[in-house]
Structure 1
């Protein structure tokens, strides 16, 4: 092929030199610089490589194939020789391969299967700015291998838009930057008309660009659904002599290749792409970019615990990257379909902070350690929820160690839910059916708008295999699902075909193995509502095909204001549940808080997981269960439901203040959050034998709370944060404490005559805030500088107050006056 020169080539000697002396490197290079293909080829000749392979991580299958193909062509070879690639269900490598381009899940499997990474000299993380969860995990694993086992392993992190300096500091690595290659791009905002949809605005922009400019068009849209709608709209575009090509990750290889090369007949191309075209792949001939400013990315809903794809605004760096695609070969034009005044997302957020983390939790369990260096720490709540799910699936034991089933699930390289479903299916026909379900769940909906029944999707797939797919089905989508199902059967070494016809509950039975927390039982009072095994509620749509089913298993939920909305589900046979989930069916006496009676009630309940199937009174409350139920009630009602005295509240405030002022005392955390989190420890003993909350006395609460401190700590609190202080008048006055504020001493001014310095607590570290009161108890001055008050402010106060309170002393010299809490003696 014709030799192409890239801007990155000027930097290759510096890259080689850096990796010769340091095992890590951060490389910044804009799109078009050539980093994806030229850096790995340059590393082939480095002496530290020996005969080791260079692993190049690409976030997308399209980019992995394209990068490997381009590098192989530069060497005059085909993929699979010196340069190869491995992606899901597809591999082009051989014993001769020395550069291996892989997608994210493949890299993590390689490291988990061989922590020594035998035969691997370097790992190159391309497009790290996209911050995919798998890339973050892959880097964390690679760093652990480098630190513990392989000091000679080279790690290169490459990015087009990520700010490299913070990452380089975090990695303790050198940082190099390359110039890109780009011609000027004229950027303008193409305004929408009143009440105009995005599709119509995009069509107008395409029509305008075709008339005004030469070259191919690249149109960025959020996802496959929008691409399909735009293809339909462009079919009727007048005067369009070009060809319309989609580009997204779900396309067959042949269609992806067509979008990545110029048209053989020289026709203009309109490429409709997702953000897969932002980086890594090169689209020749593009002179115009039309950018919706949107992308479909995974987001975790913290209320429901489910991840789903949402259409979100892109970041400014992504917008610049998209526009730059128009200037690769010559001067270009970029039309942005949002107002210039609209603010974009400040920056791309890491997936690890916003998606469901079951796959990550399983990887960490397999690795045997959570002590990995992540660029962004996984959120503790999401990780805890993920481990709860994995225990339900049987992938983790009660100690969060990976089980034998968990290891088999991890080896399948898919979401743990689908892995559990595939591995737990019994019999060849059920296993083949599970492969169909896995393919259907992973893919986009081939029957959009056809309700919530998963069975309808499977039947459309079965009909396609017999040559009679429904008219409203996406045939290409169904064909891709059929291909994926065959790949899953090969992966499981299964020769049996999927059945041509099954009862709908067979699908739900299989689904329940992967979604045990989303098994639902119909609410007795509302046929549209279902109680879920995880304790939540879900609702069917009014036209659902599942209405009337007593049990369902849900593969897809969408959070709504009240209940989660059932998007895809299938009925489940109760006999199957009683056979496969026998341990989840229990009958036992439970004690719960009755908010109407403000007391405990005992019920005999029959449950499936957290679904109550039957409940009837059980009579007397069991004392052994009562304390635990009362603690649960306090956790729900809050600490205010307990009999707090003012003195006990002040005691807590004193502990909180001293914990802040004198951390060396190592006092326990008595914040409301900490107390609620530790109710079992400090409150449970005080509630033993009680069946009502109001049976707890204030003194019992005080003793329970103070039990968290030992005797010496209690003595320190009384000494360092006293409740009262003696003032010059001879009286003791109360000190009021509030965490986060200086303690307050409210005292009549006359009681402090002769006192020069502000009293202090906490071994002299904290000055009291003095509320100096009039003889009538009204504040005259608030100060922490008593000496300054006597010198500067007192003369004015005396002048104003002497006439108002003539029976009280107002000496000219407060320093030498006798402090008193009384009025002047009669006759003076």
Structure 2
């Protein structure tokens, strides 16, 4: 029997919402926390929607709670008019009109029945969370609506999202806004930030204790993760009144414990320590107070490293507002924020959408199964780099063919509710891989234990025996969930799976893991106990004291995602024989001739490789000269250009002529700046390096001929004319010109310039050549850029000084009329 429902803010806009869906078939509903949209909207739409209403919820607890609450409003139990479906659990019947489903369920429904036969409306609840599955689901539903089901109603509901872009994405869908919240909430900030020396857990416990002392009613505390929840719970145990009970609430808890956390307190006050699971469309009974500790934990995927890691970040303003709204769900409330009011302005506005920061392997597989991602309406398009990395992994796993189309193996992988890595492993190995897949899909049951994954397998297989043999404590809840998952995966395992290797032996756990992580086969680096190079090319490290450290070959199943050198959290040791059995078709010999920065020489090796791993390494004899030259080219990049004085003079000449082109006086010569020369080494220098194998060989190399070869014959004629390599004296002697200075310069005996009445010039701009005039003993007596001026002005004084010092040498009164000479007068004359 339907109950008489108490009024909620959403009730005011329900007529407008129903009218918008009736006229447009689409709408965006923006309603603040506590407005009642999750439970009121589906019930309000029941009379006008033909067929089933699907409502997506981001979390299992929210989906189950919403369905049970709506069923209760109708005087029914879940499974009648209102039902729910999620992975591993389905409570629906033929009478079910509203199905509350977790987001991944919609994708599976669309892939198996793109027309969504029998579905009249799809509601995306809590879309502001911007989960990957929600974004994908909306994109697929929107394409289905355009191509197959124009009658399909689509409604997006959000509490804090900037709804205008979503409405625009949905062809300018009507935007309905519900104003106000059920009850007012007072916000209290810190007077000053907690001391930097104070631990986060201690500061959180202090604020919770203060909130309990200053208020009445249930308290909801937002913390980033299970670890913080456990530590704050421990810190509060002796600091709260006896009538208060503490309830943790996080996604990995058994449902019975989750239900206890959200149920009304039987006596006294309830304090719920929760993760972001409590931000969603979930009403926790008796809550009057929210303590927001200001942190959120998110997954970040590094496409370059091919790894995800959890990071703890400051909460966004949208998340803070969503959390604050929990305090006003059932009565006026108070929200304590563990930051100052001044610090609030520095918080980011919205959390990043998951599609922009997550591992896209699963998304890429779904898109390949769908057929094409072209034209799909993503509110945030998936990043190209992350998609490229994801598709490379899928090709490595055999899910995609060379053309990027999904293979039969890929279709089988997509049918399994697992990450593509684990789905591939389960398909190849069969039910024997179920325990390993279940463990990898769950959180680590042995926190603080060594990285060896075999310890976890042992704890899963025999928890009591493991506890008797090992000092590590297994988390019973995680073990129980993993056992249930093992049973489920065993049922899903394909009957055609290959349960043994090519040799007839069953797959070992290490071989199973290598099937799932072909890019994370690790080889210990020479000289390091616990540093590894992974087959995908990335680096990884574990603690030196870990029992697995020192193993030559490992498989890394879990890494922290550090882009520089990821820390290994779970791994198994594997033998080379096992690797060869699995990946014989990928192991190949390659001849490598390269420059060794460490040895400063060309190293030529024949190597047997698997990705970035070197399984065998031998000397490569009879190396082709062109391979040596290419490696030596890298040596030049390492050492720098070996410029002899002759090569430097040649470069100075070219740069002088080429540098004056801006003035319209230079010539069109090749760019021989340092940057241009280094960028084009392969073009002009590599052919001259065939005999260079060491740093000493490179340093001895005269580059003059190689540099001259860059100029054509005509360009050389221009260069020799405009910037000749030498100056021809009046006696016909050739004196090298030094172009390394700002002004080209020569030095010669003063007497050799007798008879010169025009100063020599150089370059396109006819720059005066700087001449250092020397005494008969080779000492400078004058530096000039105007020889005629020197003869007319300073020569007389120089002549007075030089005649006494060098009487046997000519010092004519008029040097312009004298013949040049290098001779001295005979003795006695």
TM over 0.5: yes
Following superposition, the deviation at residue 272 of structure 1 comes to: 0.9
CA distance in 1, matches of 2:205, 2:262: 22
SS in 2 for 1:27: strand
Residue 406 of structure 1: which of 391, 410, 420 is its match?
Answer: 410
CA distance in 2, matches of 1:272, 1:529: 39
Which residue is 2:477 aligned to?
Answer: 476
Deviations 1:734-771 (A, max 9, x none): xxxxxxxxxxxxxxxxxxxxxxxxxxxxxxxxxxxxxx
SS in 1 for 2:530: strand
Contact 1:507 1:571 in 2 (8 A): no
Which residue is 2:139 aligned to?
Answer: 140
Deviations 1:808-827 (A, max 9, x none): xxxxxxxxxxxxxxxxxxxx
Which residue is 1:270 aligned to?
Answer: 271
TM (norm. structure 1) is 0.73
Q: Which residues of 2 match residues 189-208 of structure 1 at below 5 A?
A: 189-190=189-190, 192=194, 195-208=197-210
Following superposition, the deviation at residue 683 of structure 1 comes to: 8.3
SS in 2 for 1:587: strand
Which residue is 2:457 aligned to?
Answer: 458
Which residue is 1:187 aligned to?
Answer: 187
Deviations 1:120-175 (A, max 9, x none): 22211111111111111111111221222222222111110011122212322111
CA distance in 2, matches of 1:568, 1:254: 30
110 and 633 in structure 1: CA distance in 2 versus 1, 3 angstrom threshold: farther
CA distance in 1, matches of 2:440, 2:492: 17
CA distance in 1, matches of 2:493, 2:282: 32
Contact 1:182 1:324 in 2 (8 A): no
TM (norm. structure 2) is 0.73
Which residue is 1:369 aligned to?
Answer: 372
Q: Which residues of 2 match residues 394-793 of structure 1 at below 5 A?
A: 394-425=398-429, 431-432=431-432, 434-464=433-463, 468=467, 472-492=473-493, 506-560=508-562, 562-593=564-595, 602-622=604-624
CA distance in 2, matches of 1:328, 1:532: 51
SS in 1 for 2:277: helix
615 and 252 in structure 1: CA distance in 2 versus 1, 3 angstrom threshold: same
649 and 514 in structure 1: CA distance in 2 versus 1, 3 angstrom threshold: farther
SS in 2 for 1:266: coil
Which residue is 2:176 aligned to?
Answer: 176
Deviations 1:85-126 (A, max 9, x none): 111111112222221111121111111111122222221111
SS in 1 for 2:312: strand
CA distance in 2, matches of 1:217, 1:135: 30
Contact 1:412 1:419 in 2 (8 A): yes
SS in 2 for 1:54: strand
CA distance in 1, matches of 2:388, 2:350: 27
CA distance in 1, matches of 2:456, 2:315: 32
Which residue is 1:656 aligned to?
Answer: none
Contact 1:505 1:572 in 2 (8 A): no
Following superposition, the deviation at residue 522 of structure 1 comes to: 2.0
Following superposition, the deviation at residue 476 of structure 1 comes to: 2.3
CA distance in 2, matches of 1:472, 1:564: 26
CA distance in 1, matches of 2:165, 2:155: 15
SS in 2 for 1:616: strand
Which residue is 2:728 aligned to?
Answer: none
Q: Which runs of 5+ in 1 are unaligned?
A: 654-671, 704-773, 778-828
688 and 59 in structure 1: CA distance in 2 versus 1, 3 angstrom threshold: farther
Which residue is 1:780 aligned to?
Answer: none
Residue 22 of structure 2: which of 2, 10, 20 is its match?
Answer: 20
Following superposition, the deviation at residue 369 of structure 1 comes to: 1.0
Which residue is 2:47 aligned to?
Answer: 45
Which residue is 1:301 aligned to?
Answer: 302
Contact 2:34 2:328 in 1 (8 A): no
Following superposition, the deviation at residue 176 of structure 1 comes to: 0.8
Following superposition, the deviation at residue 613 of structure 1 comes to: 2.2
Which residue is 1:795 aligned to?
Answer: none
629 and 38 in structure 1: CA distance in 2 versus 1, 3 angstrom threshold: farther
Following superposition, the deviation at residue 638 of structure 1 comes to: 13
Residue 381 of structure 1: which of 378, 385, 399 is its match?
Answer: 385
RMSD of the alignment, in Å?
3.9
Following superposition, the deviation at residue 492 of structure 1 comes to: 2.8
Which residue is 1:316 aligned to?
Answer: 317
Aligned residues: 668
Deviations 1:437-471 (A, max 9, x none): 22222222222111212122222222326695766
14 and 596 in structure 1: CA distance in 2 versus 1, 3 angstrom threshold: same
* Greater Rg over alpha carbons, structure: 2
CA distance in 2, matches of 1:518, 1:373: 34
Which residue is 2:156 aligned to?
Answer: 157
CA distance in 2, matches of 1:277, 1:482: 27
CA distance in 1, matches of 2:30, 2:205: 35
CA distance in 2, matches of 1:399, 1:9: 52
